[in-house]
């Protein structure tokens, strides 16, 4: 295995270089669900490259991140990101 390169993962690049949203750096590491939601909302509303409605783009990026991190996500981080989903619905005025 000497000299063998680690396989390149496309999914890790998506949150950094998304064609749909310009995300605040390290937004998903914030401990404040409201800050995460507000930042995603701002990114989705100001983006001129997104294809879906702002709410769908923001929620898709959050869900994509949670799914990408998967099992390595601690219960505390998972709880913060779940709260961010609820907060995202609230800041967009969506029921749920």
The yes-or-no verdict on residue 1 having pLDDT over 60 is no
Q: What is the DSSP letter of 8?
A: P
Residue 54 has a pLDDT of 94
| Model pTM score | 0.80
User: Does residue 96 carry a pLDDT above 90?
Assistant: no
Question: How many CB atoms are located within 10 Å of the residue 62 CB?
Answer: 21
Question: How many Å apart are CA 89 and CA 54, to the nearest integer?
Answer: 11
15: helix, coil or strand?
Answer: helix
Helix 75-91 / helix 33-46 crossing angle, nearest 10 deg: 50
Place of tokens 């409605």: 53
Token pair of 65, please?
Answer: 């991140």
> Taking 70 as the threshold, does the pLDDT of residue 93 lie above it?
yes
**pLDDT above 70 (res 74):** yes
């Amino acid at each position: 295995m000497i000299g063998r390169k680690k396989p390149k993962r496309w999914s890790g690049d998506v949150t950094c270089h998304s064609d749909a949203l310009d995300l605040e750096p390290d937004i998903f590491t914030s401990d404040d669900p409201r800050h995460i939601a507000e930042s995603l909302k701002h990114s989705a509303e100001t983006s001129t490259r997104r294809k879906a409605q702002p709410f769908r783009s923001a929620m898709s990026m959050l869900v994509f991140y949670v799914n990408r991190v998967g099992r390595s996500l601690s219960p505390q981080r998972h709880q913060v990101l779940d709260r961010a989903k609820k907060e995202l619905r609230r800041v967009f005025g969506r029921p749920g």
